[in-house]
Amino acid sequence: MKVDGQHTRTIWLEPDGWSVGTIDQTVLPHRFARLRLLTLEDAARAIKTMQVRGAPLIGAAAAYGVCLALRADVSDQSLERACATLLATRPTAINLKWALDAMVAAVRNQPREARIAAAYRRAAEICDDDVAINQAIGRHGLTLIEAIAARKPGRSVNVLTHCNAGWLATVDWGTATAPIYLAHDAGIAIHVWVDETRPRNQGAALTAWELGQHGVKHTVIADNTGGHLMQHGLVDLVIVGTDRVTAQGDVCNKIGTYLKALAATDNGVPFYVALPSPTIDFAVSDGLLEIPIEQRGAEEQSTVTGRTADGRIETVQIVPDGSAVANYGFDVTPARLVTGLITERGVIEATRAALAEAFAERAAAAE
Ligand code: MRU
């Protein structure tokens, strides 16, 4: 997608052909800063501190983290250590494990002298595949938006989204945002309600920024506003991303997603989840029981960071000294609350049968 009119992906190889460039998402929207990863430790730190975040981009960054580790040491032990280090960075998004498994499969049986090239090839492929997958998600999701637009000529289609499942969370296009960008580019009047997404404000800081860069009309709302908007007919559909979808169609995504699904169900608003197939975890069924939910540092909850009137970036405390705080990163929306899954192979039901049929090779491999 575009930054100041220039096409940019979220991750790339630098001109030296081996170090990895990415965007530091912790300083957006106030500053657009690039980051250069030189070592496995750099990649792991970038993922852990959420300079790089969003399930598909975490997978892509981890793939390049393996490349950087192999550059330093091409042995089996180095490969294992790299995977263990990267896997420990963030527990919920399954794309991380998927990408590490893909890297191990590409490298393990190669002779030592071929390993580094094989790793960089596979990492580049993971990135290119992500872009193609998101474009396909966009095309399938576009049909849903077109159908709504046809029912309300002359009026905007209102989409509500949560967190950032935009191009910043992927290599390009985004998952939840790909249909939105395609609809906007096709001339459909579209407006996005952007949940601010406390505590880290990925909606306010990242989704709003990228929609703005692309010229898509949007309004940032407090997380608790969605239900009210839905009760008043101001949301036509919800599209969110996901960090893991189980074999039975349960959806794990940023904390607060479940409440949006409840409100959508109560108000008859379609609730769609956009996902690339690497986000499906056929090894787990019951999302509530089986998906590990990341708990992050208390300071994310007890503070807010923003720009002061004179342009300084400041972090301020918003809770009393001594109050306990909890910071659950994700929640699980049961499949029964999901209208449909927008995948690269079409819009399917959030059911075990539909997932197994659409992604038969992945389902069989998990048996
Ligand atoms: O904690 P984050 O910012 O990595 O969480 C991101 C989300 O929850 C996204 O919705 C999800 O990863 C899908 S991104 C296409």
pLDDT at 113: 97
- Integer Cα distance of 247 and 231 in angstroms: 32
Helix (H, G, I), strand (E, B) or coil at 346: strand
Relative to the CA of 330, which ligand 1 atom is closest? 8
Average pLDDT, the chain: 97
Is 243 a residue of the active site?
A: yes
Closest protein CA for atom 14 of ligand 1: 165
pLDDT at 141: 98
Closest protein CA for atom 2 of ligand 1: 54
Helix (H, G, I), strand (E, B) or coil at 15: coil
Relative to the CA of 294, which ligand 1 atom is closest? 1
pLDDT of 1 higher than 90 = no
Q: Which of 195, 223, 243, 250 is catalytic?
A: 243
pLDDT of 106 higher than 90 = yes
Report cis status (omega within 30 of 0) of the bond before 179: no
Closest protein CA for atom 15 of ligand 1: 165
Closest protein CA for atom 5 of ligand 1: 54
Q: What are the angstrom distances between the C-alpha of 350 and each of 4, 222, 274, 329, 340? A: 38, 28, 11, 23, 6
Total residues found in the chain within this entry: 367
Determine the distance separating the centroid of ligand 1 and the alpha carbon of 249, expressed in angstroms: 17
Q: What is the pLDDT of residues 130-149, one digit of tens each?
A: 999 999 999 999 999 999 99
Relative to the CA of 174, which ligand 1 atom is closest? 15
Q: What is the pLDDT of residues 341-359, one digit of tens each?
A: 999 999 999 999 999 999 9
What backbone torsions phi and psi does residue 234 show, to the nearest 5 degrees?
Answer: -100, 5
What confidence category does residue 367 fall into, taking pLDDT thresholds of 50, 70 and 90? confident
| DSSP secondary structure letters along 196-265 | --TTTTHIIIIIHHHHHHHT-EEEEE-GGGHHHHHHTT--SEEEE--SEEETT--EEEETTHHHHHHHHH
Q: What percent of the chain has pLDDT over 90?
A: 98
Beta bridge partner(s), residue 272 = 239, 340
Q: What are the angstrom distances between the C-alpha of 198 and each of 52, 110, 205? A: 18, 45, 11
Determine the distance separating the centroid of ligand 1 and the alpha carbon of 355, expressed in angstroms: 21
- Integer Cα distance of 332 and 141 in angstroms: 22
**For a pocket test of ligand 1, which of 1, 11, 50, 53 has the largest count of ligand atoms closer than 8 A to its C-beta?**
53
- Integer Cα distance of 135 and 90 in angstroms: 26
Determine the distance separating the centroid of ligand 1 and the alpha carbon of 51, expressed in angstroms: 13
Closest protein CA for atom 6 of ligand 1: 54
- Residue the block writes with tokens 């659409």: 358
Q: How many CB atoms lie within 10 A of CB 207?
A: 33
Q: What is the pLDDT of residues 223-245, one digit of tens each?
A: 999 999 999 999 999 999 999 99
Specify the long-range contacts of residues 96-101, CB closer than 8 Å, at least 24 apart. 96/47, 96/55, 96/58, 96/59, 96/62, 98/59, 98/278, 98/279, 99/58, 99/59, 99/60, 99/62, 99/63, 99/126, 99/278, 100/62, 100/63, 100/66
The binding-site residues of ligand 1, defined as CB within 6 angstroms of any ligand atom, are 53-56, 93, 163, 165, 169-170, 175, 202, 241-243, 253-254, 329
- Integer Cα distance of 99 and 97 in angstroms: 5
pLDDT of 2 higher than 90 = no
**For a pocket test of ligand 1, which of 25, 202, 333 has the largest count of ligand atoms closer than 8 A to its C-beta?**
202
Decide: 53 and 25 in contact? Cβ < 8 Å: yes
Question: Who contacts 150 (Cβ-Cβ below 8 Å, separation ≥6)?
Answer: none
What backbone torsions phi and psi does residue 145 show, to the nearest 5 degrees?
Answer: -70, -40
DSSP assignment letter at 292:
P
* Range 180-196 average pLDDT: 98
pLDDT at 5: 83
pLDDT at 194: 99
- Integer Cα distance of 301 and 200 in angstroms: 8
Q: Which two tokens stand for residue 171?
A: 């290599």
